[in-house]
Structure 1
């Protein structure tokens, strides 16, 4: 399977030590095993892609990594330390994420949305905040300045005072990334960052992710757009029915006949996702998949 690309490939950065390691992660819901014995390592300065048909367990695995779910079995470590299954603890440890469905504060400005992301890095207590003491005012000024820097970084510097609900869809996606970056992560996980985007917005998202990688962060991306993922990532994992089908470089994964079968030949991964099955076949068609 080959993916035709019209863009110039971007050279991968040299990779450092492992920053995230998942070992034997299994997640069961009653009698249903959504994720089974999945291993994954993400190194410093690396972009890793996670692909698979609908119902493959990708978002469930993300939720296990980020503390929304406590794995039934296995463990997740960040920079060598086991991460407790609590989202706030995960964020403080240095891992941030975005969601498949945008979760912005619609009635806040772009700047205020990013400032919210800094909450985990401030230390003012309730009384100081209520009284607006010197420490609170100093941290608020620092938070505002940092939020503006991040808006500039993602290309939204002139939209700081716009309400999130009034921003174009692509800008909302970038705003959510800026809010995740406000937590000062070492690793950022992006759940379908180009879902619903047009080709121009998708190219901008790709450029932004490379920019994030070049700033020193590791990145993990779930995506259905095969052209996007194969041109973006250093390594790709393909999940099918909750298990790792294949892992390797983009060239190795896209040429593996098992991946072709998973996307084109298998249409019964999860009954709950039957209505969305066409969203898997669509990207395969638009990315000019051929045998």
Structure 2
């Protein structure tokens, strides 16, 4: 389990008395099944936090509780001190963005159009102004287009502006999803398995991009199964097992903890068991 030849990750500023994100006692039950149990987590400004655990540990369910896709059975989630309502749009407007394990781009739209979609939560043109394409709509549309192009440049897709999302390489699609999330002007971004299916070169590019996001002033939370990637990347790591926090600490502390090694050797249950098939949410999101 110990990763060798891994340089210490850059450490972001730590302000534990004023975290960007504070989750307290988050519990999620589906009937008689407890998928997440009494999980606490905080994320400081400029910090990269990793969330790991074997299959079925509850990682994506916990992400869904943070981002409003699920309403926690118990507990609360605060962003910069304000309690977040369990509504995805309200969470995005408050300043939290996420990507998904399974890519969710608009396949028949260009890269630029996909990023512009993320930006519309920050525009204020009403329906009539948009239909009539009045001056305010045209100003906002121009600003949205310019910002989307900036973000494509930021993630390394500046030459893919007019490419249809469906025609882009897999690694580029992952970066495009991140650009769309950044278009919402978040204070915190949550990445669900951002390197899943990537080759080593694409994984290195993803790592560099996440560091750039952190250096731009955002906090980042990452779910990932690639332990080398996580331990190289993060300032702090939480390990979930059966819906509970097993251990939290620096990458070195977590990767050398015998309980973590045992949890991975022992494996875990299928992620589908986190939520019964009768729940309305898509099971494809379950980790």
TM bucket, shorter chain: over 0.9
- Superposed counterparts of 1:188-267, under 5 Å: 188-264=189-265, 266-267=266-267
User: CA offsets per residue over residues 11-31 of structure 1, 9 Å max, x none?
Assistant: 212223301000000000000
The whole-number CA distance in structure 2 between the counterparts of 1:211 and 1:252 is 25
Q: How far is 1:8 from its partner?
A: 4.5
1:14 correspondence with 2:13:
yes
Q: Secondary structure at the match of 1:238?
A: strand
The whole-number CA distance in structure 2 between the counterparts of 1:271 and 1:206 is 26
Q: How far is 1:9 from its partner?
A: 3.9
The whole-number CA distance in structure 1 between the counterparts of 2:9 and 2:107 is 35
Query: 1:3 matched to which residue of 2?
Result: 3
Q: How far is 1:268 from its partner?
A: 4.1
Q: How far is 1:45 from its partner?
A: 0.4
The whole-number CA distance in structure 2 between the counterparts of 1:272 and 1:123 is 40
Query: 1:33 matched to which residue of 2?
Result: 34
- Superposed counterparts of 1:142-181, under 5 Å: 142-181=143-182
The whole-number CA distance in structure 1 between the counterparts of 2:188 and 2:234 is 15
The whole-number CA distance in structure 1 between the counterparts of 2:202 and 2:270 is 30
TM-score, L = length of structure 2: 0.93
Q: Secondary structure at the match of 1:18?
A: coil
Q: How far is 1:2 from its partner?
A: 1.4
1:269 correspondence with 2:273:
no
Aligned residues: 272
Q: How far is 1:270 from its partner?
A: 3.8
1:106 correspondence with 2:107:
yes
The whole-number CA distance in structure 1 between the counterparts of 2:271 and 2:39 is 22
User: CA offsets per residue over residues 149-185 of structure 1, 9 Å max, x none?
Assistant: 0000000001000000000000000000000000000
Q: Secondary structure at the match of 2:20?
A: strand
Query: 1:283 matched to which residue of 2?
Result: none
Q: How far is 1:91 from its partner?
A: 0.3
The whole-number CA distance in structure 2 between the counterparts of 1:135 and 1:269 is 53
User: CA offsets per residue over residues 213-242 of structure 1, 9 Å max, x none?
Assistant: 000000000000000000100000000000
For structure 2, list consecutive stretches of 5 or more residues without a partner in the other structure.
Answer: 274-287
- Relative distance call for 1:19 and 1:51 in structure 2 (3 A) is same
The whole-number CA distance in structure 2 between the counterparts of 1:144 and 1:271 is 39
TM-score, L = length of structure 1: 0.91
The whole-number CA distance in structure 2 between the counterparts of 1:9 and 1:272 is 35
Query: 2:68 matched to which residue of 1?
Result: 67
Query: 1:76 matched to which residue of 2?
Result: 77
Q: Secondary structure at the match of 1:184?
A: coil
